[in-house]
Every structure is written in structure tokens, then in C-alpha cells.
Amino acid sequence: MTLTASAKCCSLLLAGVCLVLPPSLRAQTIPKDQLIAMTAEWKGPRLPDGRPNVADEILKRMEHVTIEEAWATLRGQKYTTQFEDGDEFEQGRWEILHADQAIVGRALTATYAPARPDVQQYIDQQGKQAGRSGPPNTWPIDMLQPGDVYVADGFGKIADGTLIGDRLGNTIYANSGNGVVFDGSARDLEGLEEIDGFNAFLRAWHPSYIQNMMLVGLNTPTRIGSVTAMPGDVVLAKREGVVFIPAHLAEQVVDESERTRVRDAFAHAMVGNGTYTAGQMDTKWTEEIQKNFVSWVQSNSQRLQDELGVARETIDALLQGRP
């Protein structure tokens, strides 16, 4: 961004970058090269807006990962604040539209702030020059691509802080085939429940409509409770809470989860049939146990894929004794 362009940006800053959309940046509110620099550890392909494009196959495998498994891998890599269980919210834990349905996908982020007329006027002008249609709270929704999760910091506002209702919920699902994670509220609970496959993690439901809020960040780093969420993070939301997984660690998370899943299944089977004791399974395995494990994996490989969602490559690696 040139000095001239920077001078035109509003004074609201996040992570030292301009928040409001310059005319030349139609997809996001930070330059693409800055987003790439912030996520430099990702070495794979990227979406047109610069976000890491974690493969659909990894997202599919992520659906079977538990919150505990993801947390353990991230903590081992010194990412210690990636989990949010809702306790940062004054009202307590998450409100979940479908508690038995996970949300998995790539984060597309938005940040809202209390409105003020001068800044809102600037935002509206920039949106008009960029060819955007509709009010600013629809702009993130227009950007959604298949596999995205709409992640928004609504600064915890409940009354008059409803970021979506059932109309926008239908558009979100049509664009992404996915759901939302909001530090904010939503309306039209009954209508949203009727969208097959859509899910929402948020602070509360409220019948009001959005007022006195402005969009100050789009596809920028944002905060959800105690977590910094980056555009392109893999969102894993289940009943316990939400984990934001840096894109470059997503494959490691699913690999380690699958290995743990297979070893746990073997241990449960062996303790259940009396072959080994719980103590033998919970300590370092002997060479004999390891051989029996490989034999068991080979005999149960199809079940491990069909019932536990373990990838074929993980099974092959275990059969070959690769760590």
C-alpha cells in the first residue's frame, strides 16, 4: 500500500494494518501480500484473496478430529490460545444451533465495532467505489466460497447485534455449504433451524435487527473470545467449543488424530477381550504388542476407514511402522 493510500484509510487499526476497504482492494481490507506474510508458514495453494487454501480432503478428515486431539497437537506446537469454550462470554458458553453437528471449514473473518457516523460514511463510500452492493454486514457473506466458515467478532453485542437472520443464513449456506461462528448474536432461530446442513455457534439469540454496528475489518486477523483467528484458519467447532487451527498445522492435526484414534481402538479391543491389561496399553508398548497392533490394523483396515474415518495413507503408514 502506498503512503497516499494509507493516508486515506481511517484511523481504526488492527495488527497495524488498515481496516477499511480501499477502492483497489475489493476482496479484503489488508493487501494480499500482507495476508500472505502473516500466514507465511503455509506453503500450499491459496485462494484468490490470499487465504491459505487447505485441501477439501483435510477438511473432510478434520470432521472426525476431537477437540482434545486438536488442542493437544496445537499445544505441542506452542499454539496455546487457539481454543474458545465460550467462558469469555458474559452469558457463559456457546449457543449452538445443532449441538450434535460439527462445523469444519476455512475461516473468512469479519470485525465489527460500535458505529459512528463519520467512519460509517467513509466505509459506505469505499464500498460504493469498490462496486459492493447491499449493507456492509452482507459484504463478508458475498465473499464466501464453498468450504468457508463465516467467523465474526461482533464485540459481544446481543440486542441490536444480530449479524444474520434466516435470509442471510440461507445465503451463507448457498455460498459456502457451511455455518458461522460469531462473538455476537443472530435472529430467526426457527428459520435457521430449517436450513439443512447449516449450523451456528454464537453468544445468544435475539429478535432485534442489527443497528449501530459497522464493519471495520474484512478478511483480517480478528478476535473470538480469547483467540486470535486468522483468515484461512481451519475452524473446528464441536459441543466443547471452537478450535482455530493455523492452516500450516491442519494436516498434522488430522494425521496425529487418526493415529491416536487407531491406537485407542486397538487398546479398547485388547482390554475388552482380555488380551492385555489397561496398564499394558497405557505404557510404552512392547515389541510383541506392537506386532499384534500391526496385525490388528491390517485385519481391521476397512472398518477403520468406514467407521472411524481414518485415511488410507494413515493406515498404510502404521502398517509400515512409520512414526
Half-sphere exposure of 271 (CA within 13 A, CB side): 12
Nearest to 149 by CA among 220, 65, 232: 232
Burial pattern 103-128, b for ≥16 Cβ within 10 A else e, equals: bbbbbbbbbbbeeeeebbebbeebbe
Closest CA to 13 of 232, 225, 216: 216
Q: Which residues lie below 8 Å from residue 118, measured CB to CB, with a gap of 6+?
A: none
Per-residue pLDDT of the chain (323 residues), as tens digits, is: 333 333 333 333 333 334 444 333 344 578 889 999 999 999 999 999 999 999 999 999 999 999 999 999 999 999 999 999 987 665 568 999 999 999 999 999 999 999 999 999 999 988 888 888 899 999 999 999 999 999 999 999 999 999 999 999 999 999 999 999 999 999 999 999 999 999 999 999 999 999 999 999 999 999 999 999 999 999 999 999 999 999 999 999 999 999 999 999 999 999 999 999 999 999 999 999 999 999 999 999 999 999 999 999 999 999 988 76
d(CA 68, CA 86): 16
Name residues whose C-beta falls within 8 Å of residue 238's C-beta, 6 or more positions apart in sequence.
Answer: 66, 67, 102
Nearest-10 Cα torsion for 24, 26, 30, 31: -50
Tell me the pTM: 0.88
Rounded CA Rg of the chain: 22
- Decide if 164 contacts 133 (C-beta within 8 A): no
Residue 154: count of CB within 10 angstroms of its CB: 24
Q: Enumerate domains of the chain plus CATH numbers.
A: 7-53+85-245 (3.50.30.40), 251-319 (no CATH)
